[in-house]
Chains A and B, each alone.
Chain A
């Protein structure tokens, strides 16, 4: 401010010295806070729009005097937190849908704020019918007015748009293909076989479902997550079905802890993350609901 409101070189020199001190504090870190935004970043960045005024008054160029600080500011501005200020995101979903859960977990992993709208599938909102006229299903992600449908398509979309935070798909093409393959496997097998198990008699669906879980355990191997060291695409695709395990057990008369202990251990590990635990339905509530819901589907035939 002194630079602004007076003449003389003293304020300019001191300001530039301060910027250099700050550059020293920043060092080689992407942010003052380290790998993520911190207190100092938030304190300093609002002055970025003032840089050009300082340059004008002091007759210097920030990019010459403090290139490191300029680079930091540009990096900051590409950060999602700033992007988020102008974004409007709405999710149409139901509390029990495992497909909707996937999207909520992905959004939470990325730290994205959004408006949640609970849909009544027996009385679909005009917004849902307008945003997903082809399938009329949830989940639907509405990003700045534009709808994205199909849970795994939405999760990939989120991963691509907010690509600097917690990537869900790996960068290696072959590993990406593996992730897509197994997420697709979850879609093809777990939901439909689970439904068959619970709505019909006969051992075939149970056998195939348990085999599918074993295949998934094989793919997991000794890794903490399907995504390796961090939660990935397949983890997000599968973990919502954890809330359905007890219903499967009830219908199929088996125990997941006996049949697929590795998968149960994996699920518990996922639940240690807030992004997961906060976005799965309450397990007891889910069980009570599913037992009734699946029975009603069975009698309808």
Chain B
């Protein structure tokens, strides 16, 4: 019987990413359903009534939630490419470290990320202490799982991509290659694994590509590109929920990456006649653009609008 596998996720959820990796490492085919957490689907609420969160894995109609529980399920249900070692003691170790990563490391990183000033400063030693335990545990190992990635590597995986982003956003250096040589090496090796490389979310790249697709096409092709832009804008919209900037109270890495939209999208709208940022559809993005453009450094550096319009009109294929 062919397995019917569905995963409910958001494109940015680091917990959902664990499941994606596990499914792909086991060579399993699955359908992906992206959720809008501001408007959760009835299906999600039906499949995860307890927490109403992603990720949820649905296998032949039966749901499982909580990322580490899902990982254990995948391991139990599909025996190829085992993610956990055979030896009970080694399994206990893998589970212990996965729990440590969620209960302690993740919490301490969030405590630093979502605070500022004195509170943020005081949270940093806790992160460093937790990283030190991970560093020691990695001694002499390529991956926690040995020669190939396993349960604990998957649990820790989000750090290999997101810690760097958080560092840019907060200005705090967590992984200094001198202080944490094992973790640095581990991150490098982890990111090299094909399944991992293929699945990192890349927000600004996605958006840039989809806007370009619309800008440089016409007719039916252009029309077909618009939903993709809207979909990508929706992800950004959802990510901005509750935030002034991606960086918090002041602009950071992601704001800078996205910054061109605050100016250019309007230009592109004028040139193509297609409205992307409707303030009713995208209230968060609209507000963000407004706030972003108010930042003195930003205000001072926009290329002049009329010159931009001329430039893009020349680029755009004639209607």
Contact = CB atoms under 8 A, between A and B. Distances in A.
Interface stretch (A89-97, A176-184, A292-300): A176-184
7 contacts: A135-B100, A135-B104, A148-B89, A176-B76, A177-B70, A177-B72, A177-B76
Given A157-B88, A157-B89, 6 more contacts: A157-B91, A173-B73, A176-B72, A177-B69, A177-B73, A181-B65
Given A161-B88, A181-B65, A150 B96 contact: yes
B160 to A, nearest CB: 21
B95 interface: yes
Given A177-B64, A177-B69, A177-B76, A148 B133 contact: no
A148 B50 contact: no
A181 B89 contact: no
Given A160-B91, A173-B73, A180-B69, A153 B99 contact: yes
Contacts of B65: 181
A134 B91 contact: no
B59 interface: yes
B45 interface: no
A134 B137 CA distance: 11
The 7 closest A-B pairs by CB, nearest first: A173-B76, A177-B73, A160-B88, A157-B92, A173-B77, A153-B95, A177-B64
Contacts of A153: 92, 95-96, 99
Nearest to A133: B133
Interface string B15-34: 00000000000000000000
Given A134-B133, A148-B92, A157-B88, A174 B99 contact: no
A143 B62 contact: no
Contacts of B96: 148-150, 153
A44 interface: no
Nearest to A178: B64
A148 B91 CA distance: 10
Interface string B80-112: 000000001101100110011000100000000
Nearest to B98: A153
Contacts of B238: none
Interface string A167-195: 00000011011001100110000000000
Nearest to B89: A146
Contacts of A149: 96
B66 interface: yes
A280 interface: no
Interface string B120-156: 0000000000000100000000000000000000000
A181 B64 contact: yes
Interface residues of B, number: 23
Interface of B: 50, 59, 62, 64-66, 68-70, 72-73, 76-77, 88-89, 91-92, 95-96, 99-100, 104, 133
Interface string A152-170: 0110110011000000000
A156 B75 CA distance: 15
A184 B95 contact: no
Contacts, number: 58
A77 interface: no
A168 to B, nearest CB: 13
A215 interface: yes
Interface residues of A, number: 22
Contacts of A134: 100, 133
Interface of A: 134-135, 143, 146, 148-150, 153-154, 156-157, 160-161, 173-174, 176-177, 180-181, 184-185, 215
A195 B65 CA distance: 25
Contacts of B89: 143, 146, 148, 157
B95 A150 contact: yes
A173 B77 CA distance: 6
A90 B73 CA distance: 30
Contact of B95 (A143, A156, A173): A156
A256 B89 CA distance: 39
B92 A154 contact: yes
Given A143-B89, A150-B96, A157-B88, A174 B50 contact: no
A214 B92 CA distance: 31
Contacts of B66: 180-181, 184
A149 B66 CA distance: 21
Contacts of A181: 64-66, 69
Contacts of B104: 135
B64 A156 contact: no
B93 to A, nearest CB: 8
B71 to A, nearest CB: 10
Nearest to A176: B76
Nearest to A148: B92
A211 to B, nearest CB: 10
A154 B88 CA distance: 10
Contact of B59 (A174, A185, A215): A174
Nearest to B93: A148
Contacts of B92: 148, 153-154, 156-157
Contacts of A161: 88
Contacts of A150: 95-96, 99
Given A160-B88, A181-B66, A174 B73 contact: yes
A180 B168 CA distance: 37
Q: Which of B68, B72, B133 has the most CB of A within 10 A?
A: B72
A161 B89 CA distance: 9
Contacts of A154: 92
Nearest to A132: B96
Contacts of B91: 156-157, 160
Contacts of A135: 100, 104
Contacts of B99: 150, 153
